Structure 1
Amino acid sequence: MSLRARDIMTTDVKTVRPDEDVSDVLTRLARASFNGFPVVDDENHVVGIVTQGDLVDLFQPSDRTLWIPIGFPPFISSIDYAVDISWNDLDVGIDLAKHAGKPIRSVMTADVVTVIPDDDLDRVLELLADENRDINRLPVIEGERLVGIIAREDLLRTLRDERELAS
């Protein structure tokens, strides 16, 4: 009997709603042991996914990188160091104020890759190992409703356990 998505998924899925405030979701994510949430509507249908990367992009724009030449005058053999100054308290406070009230739907990824409970381990592996998509978690849906989630760690643990059983 081969393993299916239902055998490795986590059923206690932490989610957010599309209208939740960006700063509230960022706070929840900072306290979580994972790096993203499925975004679900009132009927528990997956309408998007939001990750740390989506939120960090709001608070760490590339135009805040400061280049400092290091060395002695006339700086003939200077080294450039990129010093990111965006995460000091003032900047984060300004960014939080600027993005306060913005709904999570404005930053989420709407095109979510999902699996169904009967998908086999090979399908899950194919999606989580896809180098073009860089997916870390797969929502598991049944009849459009979210019933679980599979993180890369879940898949790796399962593969390890299966290997140990085979030896």
Structure 2
Amino acid sequence: MKASDIMTRDVKTVTPDATIEEAVNLLLSIRASGLPVVDDNGRLVGIVSETDFLHRVEIGTAKRRPRLIEFLLGPGEVAEAYVMSHSRKVGDVMTRDVVTVAANASLNEIVAVMEKRKVKRVPVVTGDELVGLVTRSDVLRAFTAARPSAPAPLDDQAILDRLMAELNAQGFASPRALDVTVDRGVVTLTGEIFDERQRPALTVAAENIPGVTKVIDHLVWIEPFSGMTLDKTGMI
């Protein structure tokens, strides 16, 4: 799946000369948290988000540090904060260093960008021209669209084979330390684990197999240092 498959194409934008009031009203009307900023030729020049409007003089939230801190920071930092809280133009408060993706970027690439840059939206560009926008909501919709139809349930032996193959592939638990049985779709997990986080992972691995109706947990956790053994109830 690519950016072009999930992106919003009819993207609402503002120009750098738009007023802060215009941008805020547009955000509220479309119920968005950010807007791409484009020039008269449709080229992406920045992005503005609700975060840029949190510290504003109009609502009494402008940042003002103690004089000593302002002196240590220097006039540049103070001037920059003043512009962010007092300017009436989007171009003065927008983020200019905007991370973008191409239309053929994979969903993996898009998610990696969102995580690394801690952003909720990624503009999609062809050259400098804005052609779309991918938001976290678009990624969630892609998840819904990608879910396959329910597969046919497997028989008991096939369930066991599938579970063992999954454990071998993922590596979070050794099949040799487990005794797994399947009876009419009910998976019983018996054996030893050495980290409590293995318990839910084993259950999830079993539950995801078509035909599994229930998972019974008889796993015993062995504390690595003391050798103490506990079951899922915390009893020895």
TM-score by length of 1: 0.70
Structural mapping, 1:99-110, within 5 Å: 99=86, 102-110=88-96
Counterpart residue number, 2:38: 40
Sort the Cα spacing of 1:158 and 1:14 in 2 relative to 1 into closer, same or farther, 3 A. same
Query: Number of matched residues?
Result: 128
From 123, 134, 153, the equivalent of 1:150 is 134
Sort the Cα spacing of 1:129 and 1:164 in 2 relative to 1 into closer, same or farther, 3 A. farther
In 2, distance between residues paired with 1:166 and 1:141? 36
Sort the Cα spacing of 1:120 and 1:165 in 2 relative to 1 into closer, same or farther, 3 A. farther
Counterpart residue number, 1:95: none
Counterpart residue number, 1:13: 11
Q: How far apart are residue 34 of structure 1 and its match?
A: 1.0
Counterpart residue number, 1:87: none
Please identify, of 151-160 and 110-119, the stretch whose mean Cα deviation from structure 2 is larger: 151-160
Sort the Cα spacing of 1:165 and 1:127 in 2 relative to 1 into closer, same or farther, 3 A. farther
Counterpart residue number, 1:61: 62
What are structure 2's unaligned runs of at least 5 residues? 65-84, 152-236
Alignment deviations for residues 89-127 of structure 1 (CA, whole Å, 9 cap, x no partner): xxxxxxxxx84x721011000000100001111101111
In 2, distance between residues paired with 1:39 and 1:109? 9
Sort the Cα spacing of 1:157 and 1:144 in 2 relative to 1 into closer, same or farther, 3 A. same
In 2, distance between residues paired with 1:9 and 1:166? 27
Rg larger in 1 or in 2?
A: 2
What are structure 1's unaligned runs of at least 5 residues? 64-97
From 20, 23, 34, the equivalent of 2:21 is 23
CA RMSD in angstroms, aligned pairs only: 1.9
Counterpart residue number, 1:78: none
Counterpart residue number, 1:4: 2
Sort the Cα spacing of 1:166 and 1:111 in 2 relative to 1 into closer, same or farther, 3 A. farther
Sort the Cα spacing of 1:106 and 1:156 in 2 relative to 1 into closer, same or farther, 3 A. same
Q: How far apart are residue 165 of structure 1 and its match?
A: 4.8
Counterpart residue number, 1:126: 112
Sort the Cα spacing of 1:56 and 1:165 in 2 relative to 1 into closer, same or farther, 3 A. farther
Counterpart residue number, 1:91: none
State yes or no: 1:140 paired with 2:141: no
In 2, distance between residues paired with 1:120 and 1:52? 27
In 2, distance between residues paired with 1:166 and 1:110? 46
Question: RCO (CA 8 Å, sep 6+): is it higher in 1 or 2?
Answer: 1
Identity %: 38
